[in-house]
Each structure stands twice: as C-alpha cells, then as structure tokens.
Amino acid sequence: MTGQPSYITFRKHTFLSSAAMGFSAVIITIAVCCTAVVLYTVHLAGEKSERLVVLAESAVRGLPELAESLPPVLSDLLDDHRQPDYAGKLAISAKVSPQSGRHGLTRTAIEITNNGQEVVSLLSLRIILLDEHEQLLAESQQWAATPLATDGEWRGPIMPGSRRYFVAPCMGMYGIDAAEGLHAEVEITELRVWNGPTKAPAADAQATTSARNAEKSEQSPVALANPGL
C-alpha cells in the first residue's frame, strides 16, 4: 500500500484581518508604553513627595530661629496666635445707607470696639447684605485689622479699649431701593491676637536674684546671726 500524500494549506489574510492584527499590535504597544510611563511617574512622584516632606520639616524646625533673627518690627508681626474665643470681647456693628447722588449704590459703615485687654493683630470680616425677606443680595470680604498699618486696606492692629471705623466698598443694588429694608450682617472669618512682650530667661533669673537679695536684706540681725532659728 502506498501512503496518501499530505497537503499543507496556506490561507492568505484578507485586508480586514491584516488591519485588525496591526491595530491590535498598535493598541498593545500603546498600553505597554502607557503602563511604563505611569509606573515611572508614580516612582518619580514618590521621590519628589519624600523630598518635599523633608524640606517642609526642615522649614518648620527653622521657623523659631528665623523669627528670632528678624528685626523686632518684623518679628512682632509674626508673634501672634489664633484666638476665636476673643470674639466675645469685640462689639461689631454694621449700618447700611444709600450712596448719595448715585441710585442703587449702598455703603456699609462698620464699627468695631475692642472691649478686652488684648491687641487684635488680624481680623477678617465677611459682610453680607440682606433684604427685608432675609435674602442674600451681596457679600464682601474686609480686613478690619492687620499686623501692619499702611495705605489701602491695611488698617493696622486694634488696641485694647479702642474703636475702629471704616466703610466697606459700595455695592450695587440696581432695581432695589437701598433706603428700605436692607441691612447688613457681619461674620468673623479670622481672628488673631498678639502674644505680647515676653521676658527673656536671663531677665527672669536676674529678677529672681534681685528679689532674693531684697528678702535677705530685710531680715533682722538676730535671724542672720542665728540661721537655725
């Protein structure tokens, strides 16, 4: 018996199948490249974040030394702390009035009285304008107290027992009678109080030594001659 010859059949790829295979290869290549880029980006971001954390920690540790090295005028500007409970010592009032000669414009006069014993170094106020139905019409943010007094909106700190007056910028209320039913409310958004002068440790030690010397000088001669009594 003779064996039957075997035949190998080759199928030619059509245009669509060739295009599909090429497109698949392109998609796989793009996916691999994107994965490599993402992994490299994550690695790079991790290194950068660690460096930023180290720099932030170094900056925070160096802040006290930096504040001590500054001139007194600048160091006093940074020598304050946030104290929200001091808001009870501040009496704040706001009065809305129409702008004379300009229809639809209003001006808000703010009055602040510091009834406490602290120096307010920073005070930020959110002023809102409401109608007779308590509907919000406008709002603005104002600095009522700043660490330094300059021209513009830097009005300086508020001393104990003093009053601060200023006028908020005009707000346009077109189509609304500014003389009827409008009123303003004030919200404290930031409040910081100056820490005040602090005595150096050497000055405290010198004061303590002086007090002890004064006590010894006031003792009677009998007590000095007989320390055991």
The partner residues of 130 in beta bridges, in order of sequence, read: 136, 183
Residues 85 and 141 in one domain: yes
Q: Identify whether 206 is part of a domain.
A: no
Residues 88 and 178 in one domain: yes
Q: Count CA atoms within 13 Å of residue 92 on its CB side.
A: 21
CB atoms within 10 A of CB 147: 18
Of 28-32, 146-150, 160-164, 213-217, the one with minimum mean pLDDT is: 213-217
Say what the pTM is: 0.54
Say whether pLDDT at 155 is over 70: yes
Q: Identify whether 75 is part of a domain.
A: no
Please give the average per-residue pLDDT across 183-194, as a whole number.
Answer: 92
Which run of H or E residues covers position 169?
strand 163-172
Q: What's the CATH code of the domain at 162?
A: 2.60.40
CA distances from 125 to 92, 184, 192 (A): 10, 12, 12
Of 6-15, 29-38, 97-106, the one with minimum mean pLDDT is: 6-15
CA distances from 199 to 70, 98, 159, 196, 204 (A): 17, 51, 21, 10, 7
CB 96 within 8 Å of CB 130: no
Say whether pLDDT at 206 is over 80: no
**Total of domains in the chain:** 2
The partner residues of 177 in beta bridges, in order of sequence, read: none
Q: Identify whether 46 is part of a domain.
A: yes
Alpha carbon distance 123, 166 (integer Å): 13
Domain that holds residue 115: 81-194
Q: Identify whether 228 is part of a domain.
A: no
Asked which of 27, 42, 69 is the last residue of a domain, the reply is: 69
Say whether pLDDT at 203 is over 50: no
In this prediction, residue 154 has a pLDDT band, given cuts at 50, 70 and 90, of: confident
In this prediction, residue 177 has a pLDDT band, given cuts at 50, 70 and 90, of: low
Q: Identify whether 222 is part of a domain.
A: no
Q: Identify whether 221 is part of a domain.
A: no
Residues 104 and 28 in one domain: no
Please give the average per-residue pLDDT across 121-126, as a whole number.
Answer: 93
Residues 64 and 86 in one domain: no
Residues 128 and 34 in one domain: no
The larger pLDDT score, comparing residue 219 to residue 100, is at: 100
Q: What are the pLDDT digits (tens) for 51-80?
A: 665 666 565 555 566 556 656 666 666 778
**Amino acid identity at 122:** L
Residues 132 and 169 in one domain: yes
Residues 53 and 85 in one domain: no
Looking at residue 149, what DSSP letter applies?
A: B
Q: Identify whether 26 is part of a domain.
A: yes
In this prediction, residue 148 has a pLDDT band, given cuts at 50, 70 and 90, of: confident
Which residue's entry shows tokens 């075997």? 6
Which residue's entry shows tokens 């920073």? 122
E strands in 48-89? 80-82
Looking at residue 156, what DSSP letter applies?
A: -
